[in-house]
A and B are shown apart, each in its own frame.
Chain A
Amino acid sequence: MSEFVQSMLRGLGSGSIYALLALGFVIIYKSTRVISFAQPAFMLAGAVLVSYLAAEIGFFAAVPVAAVLIAVLALGVERTVLRPMIGKPVFVVAIITIGVDVVVRVVTNSFIGLDVRQVGDPWGLSTVTLFGVDVQQRYLVMFVTTAVVVAVLFAFFRFSRIGLAMRAVAYDQEVALAQGISVGSVFALSWAIAGGLAALAGVFVATGAGVDQQLWVIALKALPAIILGGLDSLGGAVVGGLAVGVVESLVGTYQGDVAPWLGPNFALVAPYVLMLVVLLVRPYGLFGSKEVERV
């Protein structure tokens, strides 16, 4: 039993990383109707930035600073690269973000080098005992931080004027324009928020293990999460992210005993299997809004 609970807690911890990344994807998708494949690069850049800053100003100061800097970077990318593409087919824009991803990642990699960089987190691999179950501190911190960030984000969208503007743009861009909302600044803001979330997620991925050149692969796990939850549902992103984390962790714990013929690393692709199964039943994910079809 305690093995099950441990596995669940680990899953919720890493799931909250996916949830942060998935929120970034969904925020960009809601306002611009584009999936930004540049998120993995921003995540990597955030982690690398913290690994440099942490030595100077300490981990807790480095994280927000890095998140803000990556947000500014994402804002810059949106202004220079994405802004000329407004109104073009979404697929073309998505491919452009792949190009951006490649460029940012190569530049970031040259700051990593061949060895692993540490982010200077105060937890390392130490564990605490919680209700009789051993759990790594970093998973608890991930989960709590994500919960706080999600609460703040939802309050922001619900209660602030800018949040209202963002919801209006997500609902209908032309009508929002007609009401005097600057759709351009909403686009820019959503990229900035997504960049900041990606940087935060990157730091958490790097805690305990450190930053290497392959870190960005983790960000791709957020893709089944957003499809699972539905591309345009913020709540769906959180649920999808947690679900992906838990499924991955449980499969990793039990698949070796139950179905060893699936191969030792099946846990890594289990989220994609889950995604395919869910899509067979609900083509727009669990919480995504079904497209209204008119001729």
Chain B
Amino acid sequence: MLLRHTPETITDRSALTINPAKTCQPVGAMYAALGIHNCLPHSHGSQGCCAYHRSALTRHYKDPIMATTSSFTEGASVFGGQANLVESINNIFTIYSPDIIAVNTTCLSEVIGDDLPQIINKARADGKIPPGKTVIHANTPSFKGSHVTGFANMTSAMVQYLSERSGKKIPQINIIPGYVEPSDMAEMKRISLEMGIKSVLFPDTSGVVNSPLDGKFHMYPKGGATMEAIKSAGDSTFTLALGRTASLPAAKLLDTKCKVPFECLDLPIGLSATDTFVDCLRKTAGVSVPESLMVERGQVVDVLTDMHQYFFGKKVALIGDPDHLVSLAQFLTDMDMEVLYVVTGTPAGPKFVRRIRELTGEKTIVKEGLGVDMFQFHQLIKNAKPDLLFGNTYVKHIARDEDIPLIRMGFPIYDRVGHQYFPITGYRGALRLLEKILEAILDRQDRDAPEESFELVM
């Protein structure tokens, strides 16, 4: 009972964070960078940052996560990191030979004020970037935003550096998938393919961080969006950005830079959000929804109606990334559950709070941004105990202390597998989420039922 000391009384804390409900920008940037084919993410700062980000992603994906570091020393911190980065770029292309290096800054390189575009230009002028190879960068200071904004920044960098407008439109749609699992990215591609739509999805970590075991170590697994594809995104007819926090900045930039119109939707988690996603694809591509997808949808509705009596009035509390929370809150409300708390450590702004309330009603307590953490989430739970928790692995401490079932979702998940392989987006994802929710509710019901109401058929 690790968290037994958490008091019920909620007092104002402005000076510190206890048990963070977010982490810092560079890890999100590194994850996004892994979504480019043959890309080596590079962390511009101390070795520790890179080691921590690689460890965090390795624990979450249980796959080798490759990234390099500028290995800052005291000298670099005083005289700037230019020499380190130029040398890094040279070494990386010589030793590891990626097609592209995606540099993310850290709090250290941000504070000393390294000018990344200038350094990259210098490296190019010095001949450290071989012909045909690319270096891109994103500013990701750790004292701003969270891992989600870091992801958004690196996705924008892909547009900034790679996307181009040739003047000739290509009949394809861009999908910016948001900070989701490789399984979800694969699912989005599958849905658009099922609808007969050619899509460019970036970043795309499927096949990179959930690569198959083939008996070899690959620096660059087969997956990832190719640079050509991201380049061609500038000629696409339309962009679908999924999730305001993670995807909107890149979509906006693509519109400004290459005049590709966009729409920003909620992540397709749950029935309503997936309907909106599919409908938007249908309209923009001018196609009809194929029978196969209708069947998948029908199956979700079928399970929903079969089991609806178990959802009624169940109280839930959610903690995680803003984009996930919006769609999940809607799905749970659609299922007649009562959303008590929605909490994120990521600064998501008043729009986020309004959107959640719109979906779930005024009763829901929404907390976001500065000073919001797992400690506070736990305090809320002590005040009105929900039946079900949604959150990352760290929530298991709370779940155990309060004896409430937990459904793992978000980042990081260190203690379970499946998230890499089974989507929670799309209709199939909705079905999987449904199964998880029912499993948790019914297991609890079975455990607590008195002998006379212990049921075989449910």
Same assembly: no
Interface on A for B, CB 8 Å cutoff?
A: none
Interface on B for A, CB 8 Å cutoff?
A: none
